[in-house]
Amino acid sequence: MAFNVYVSSKIGSEAVGIFGLVMSVYSFAVTLATTGLSLACTFIVSKCFAKGNFFDGLKAVKSCIVFSLILSISTSILVLCFSKTISNHWLNSMVTPSPLYLIAIGLPFIAISSVLNGYFSAVRKAYKGAITQFVELIVKIIVSIILLKFGLSKGVEAICNCLILADVISEVCSCILIIILYKIDRWKYCTRKVSIITFKKEILKITFPVSVTTYIKSGLSTFKQFIIPSRLQAFGLSYNMALSEYGKVNGMTMSVIMFPIVFIGSFSNLLVPEFSSLLATGNKKRIHDLCHKIFMVTYIFSFYVSSILFIFSNEISLLVFNNLDCATYIKIISPLVLFMYPDNIIDNILKGLNRQFGVMTSNILDLIITISILYFLLPVIGINGYILAIYVSEIFNFTISFFQLYKVAKFKLSIMNYFIKPLIACLVGFILSSFTDNFVLRIIIFSISFAGIFLIYLKNPRFSNA
């Protein structure tokens, strides 16, 4: 987040908006190149290793890497072929195809890293994947700062090229490192056993339905990002002003809103192999109890973050962006944390329970509804239509995902434990912190009082035995 704030302050909200559109193309290309393979690798390897079939698990990894190279190289060729069309029609000729050429170079490295991250999640060594991501981020930040010194004064296109090139360089470094870590790790499981089992059908069985729905979802998501500036133009804004408003909400505000999710993201991705193992052993009681414990922690944390963002939106905007441009947006969107963060957890649980097709289907339906709202309301109420679309999207997605989880795990939300008690904790924290005007002191008082309620939760027998 600190890096995003640095970039935003250097290039301005308009350039953030343009770069956001380029990144939406990047995101779509990455989806085409990697979709389903990391999940397939995690699912198959965790199942093989649980049965002690280490050789078969490693063979599955190799098959997933081959598929990833085929997909990523094919996607790179598509990006190169359609780069001029994307630049002229999707990016409104704001930049030339050069950033897209750089995107095409990085895709094979991203695809291989994705598969190996899936492997490390499956063998409960996700920290190795985290190490490579940390190195990747450090390289990206250093290279970006160096390149921006030369490209900052040369316009938006040079800025996009610098940022994309830094990203590609970091992805290459990350890929090399994770391959080395995988080579070291696999020696522990290597045997001389010869297996006639092939995993092509099993990989395709997992990836094909996920791929189809993910491609549709990613395509709709990319389309959604592109229609926002154009529909804001229909409201009466210039294209540059539309990009600026889009950049404030999507590139700046949402980075603040989503930043705290890293604290639960550390275990969120590990839920896929965990629930895959529970599903394989048929341990329904453990699934139910684990869901209860996970959601209690998630909702306590979500209420804490949502309250901090809502109460201190002005202070956070000044601290992060050195202005109040995003303060109102932070305050308005902050209640959605109560839906965004738990939804992230639910999606990973459902993937572990082999319900990823249902997750993607609900996401597609959600995007269709969101795009409809954006298309018809943005020309009427402007950026407020985008805020409304975010609300409808997040609440709808959470509701559908939760009912899917309920069908599988028979898990119910406890209104008292997940909503009423955290809300009381927030109110107590707000009242106690309002006796001082010092921002840092208010945060400390609020956090300590909220943590006190959290400790009461930990003494709850039902929670500790889950």
Instruction: Find which of 111-120, 168-177, 430-439 is predicted with most confidence, using mean pLDDT.
Output: 168-177
The pLDDT value given to residue 191: 58
Q: What is the rounded distance in angstroms from the CA atom of residue 270 to the CA atom of residue 124? A: 8
Percent of the chain with pLDDT over 90: 21
Range of lowest pLDDT (141-150, 269-278, 372-381, 382-391): 269-278
Q: What is the rounded distance in angstroms from the CA atom of residue 216 to the CA atom of residue 224? A: 12
Range of lowest pLDDT (185-194, 307-316, 358-367): 185-194
Q: What is the rounded distance in angstroms from the CA atom of residue 80 to the CA atom of residue 142? A: 28
Q: What is the rounded distance in angstroms from the CA atom of residue 3 to the CA atom of residue 145? A: 9
Better-scored residue on pLDDT, 198 or 120? 120
Of the candidates 144, 9, 149, 159, the one whose C-alpha atom is nearest the C-alpha of residue 95 is 159
Better-scored residue on pLDDT, 454 or 73? 73
Q: Residue 330 has which token pair? A: 């932070």
The pLDDT value given to residue 141: 92
The pLDDT value given to residue 307: 92
Answer whether residue 192 shows pLDDT above 70.
no
Count, in order, helices (H) and strands (E) of the chain: 22, 0
Q: How confident is the model at residue 195 (pLDDT cuts 50, 70, 90)?
A: low
Range of lowest pLDDT (139-148, 209-218, 329-338, 345-354): 209-218
Answer whether residue 463 shows pLDDT above 60.
no
- Phi, psi at residue 198, to the nearest 5°? -115, 145
Write out the DSSP string of 209-254: HHHHHHHHHHHHHHHHHHHHHHHHHHHT--HHHHHHHHIIIIIIIH
Q: How confident is the model at residue 466 (pLDDT cuts 50, 70, 90)?
A: very low
Q: State the average pLDDT over residues 355-370.
A: 78
**Helix axes of 383-409 and 337-352: crossing angle, nearest 10 degrees:** 40
Helix H, strand E, coil C: the string for 47-83 is HHHHCCCHHHHHHHHHHHHHHHHHHHHHHHHHHHHCH
Q: State the average pLDDT over residues 357-368.
A: 77
Query: 16's torsion region: left (phi>0), alpha (psi -120 to 50) or beta?
Result: alpha
Beta carbons of 117 and 38 less than 8 angstroms apart: yes
Answer whether residue 196 shows pLDDT above 50.
no
Write out the DSSP string of 196-213: ----HHHHHHHHHHHHHH
Of the candidates 398, 396, 362, 393, the one whose C-alpha atom is nearest the C-alpha of residue 377 is 393
- Residues 403-434 have pLDDT tens digits of 888 887 777 777 777 788 788 888 888 898 88
The pLDDT value given to residue 171: 93
Answer whether residue 205 shows pLDDT above 70.
no
Answer whether residue 10 shows pLDDT above 80.
no
Beta carbons of 97 and 84 less than 8 angstroms apart: yes
Calculate the CA 129 to chain-centre distance: 16
Q: State the average pLDDT over residues 292-310.
A: 88
Instruction: Find which of 33-42, 147-156, 201-210, 342-351 is predicted with most confidence, using mean pLDDT.
Output: 342-351
Better-scored residue on pLDDT, 344 or 418? 344
Rg, C-alpha atoms of the chain: 23
Q: What is the rounded distance in angstroms from the CA atom of residue 15 to the CA atom of residue 248? A: 11
SS3 279: helix
Q: State the average pLDDT over residues 247-269.
A: 82
Burial of 194 (0-12, 13-18, 19+ CB in 10 A): exposed
Q: How confident is the model at residue 339 (pLDDT cuts 50, 70, 90)?
A: very high
Q: Give the residue carrying structure tokens 């990989």.
A: 203
- Write b or e for each residue in 27-36: b if 16 or more Cβ atoms lie within 10 A of its Cβ, otherwise e: ebbbbbbbbb
Q: State the average pLDDT over residues 274-301.
A: 80
Any residues with CB less than 8 A from the CB of 207 and at least 6 apart, and which? Answer: 35, 36, 37, 39, 40, 67
The pLDDT value given to residue 206: 64
- Residues 149-179 have pLDDT tens digits of 887 777 778 888 899 999 999 999 999 999 9
Q: Residue 163 has which token pair? A: 């940022």
Burial of 154 (0-12, 13-18, 19+ CB in 10 A): exposed
194-196-200 Cα angle (round to 5):
125
The pLDDT value given to residue 39: 78
Q: State the average pLDDT over residues 91-108.
A: 86
Answer whether residue 464 shows pLDDT above 60.
no
Q: How confident is the model at residue 214 (pLDDT cuts 50, 70, 90)?
A: low
C-beta neighbour count of 48 within 10 angstroms: 22
Q: In the chain, helix, strand, coil percent, each to 5? A: 85, 0, 15
Mean pLDDT, the chain, integer: 82
Residue type, 352: G
Q: Residue 139 has which token pair? A: 């390289």
